[in-house]
Amino acid sequence: MTLRLGDTAPDFQAPTTDGDISFHDWKGDSWVVFFSHPADFTPVCTTELGRASGLNSDFSSRGVKLIALSVDSVEDHHAWAPDIGEVTGSALAFPIVADPDKAVSALYDMIHPGEGDTSTVRSVFFIDPANKVRTILTYPKSVGRNFDEIIRVVDALQATDAHPVATPADWRPGDRVIVPPTMSTEEARTKLSNVEEVKPYLRYADAPA
């Protein structure tokens, strides 16, 4: 199965480090960042889960729940968790899905064909309160993720959902936004502040409060 932007994130039932869950019930009406990692007791993954745990309050303040997955067992997840806290200084702060039969990995197309094993790649799914997949990022196993960028994407998605704007390259909250092509400059000036027309197709405005 290949997921695309706008698809409904598949529901599943699975064991996790926080007990058995039904994904949609666990998620509720929150945003979710659902990310896979190749295996427990691996170096890059240890740094990633520690970094994500250290940022858990930043995600929570945005109404976002974190949940991770690997194809290892719950017992392995529990045995590995103390290493995450010891190495990174941040104790595991969210559930890890156990997927030894790779059923969830298949639902979310997390296995990279031709890589010589059946562990998951570093996929990231941004899922909105309506259970729609809004952004998908996929990294190779050798490259650790930038969790500041993952928070930035959440901020951009939430800003563009709340207001009729788009975000330019490297945008962060408080930066100026872009008037979307579907809105005329005249209309933009009635809805947004300090509209600047750089090109007929490129108009900046102050970020709405």
Each residue's pLDDT tens digit, 124-155: 999 999 999 999 999 988 899 999 999 999 99
Class of domain 163-205: alpha beta
Q: Is the pLDDT of residue 192 over 60?
A: yes
Instruction: Show me where the domains of the chain are located.
Output: 13-145, 163-205
Does 34 have pLDDT greater than 60? yes
Known catalytic membership, residue 45: yes
pLDDT of 114 over the 70 cut: no
Q: How many angstroms separate the CA atoms of 106 and 4, rounded?
A: 14
Q: What's the CATH superfamily of 13-145? A: Glutaredoxin (3.40.30.10)
**Minimum mean pLDDT among 33-42, 57-66, 103-112, 133-142: which range?**
103-112
> From CA 50, how far away is CA 16, in angstroms rounded?
17
Measure the CA–CA gap between 122 and 51, rounded to whole angstroms: 14
Residue 113 confidence (pLDDT)? 62
Phi-psi region of 52 (alpha: psi -120 to 50; beta: other; left: phi over 0): alpha
The residue-averaged pLDDT of 20-47 equals 96
Is the pLDDT at 120 greater than 70, yes or no?
no
Neighbours of 35 (CB within 10 A): 24
Kindly name the residue from 32, 45, 124, 159 that is annotated as catalytic. Answer: 45
Residue 52 contacts residue 86 (beta carbons within 8 Å): no
**Quick one: pLDDT at residue 118?**
55
- The β-bridge relationship of strands 64-70 and 31-36 is parallel
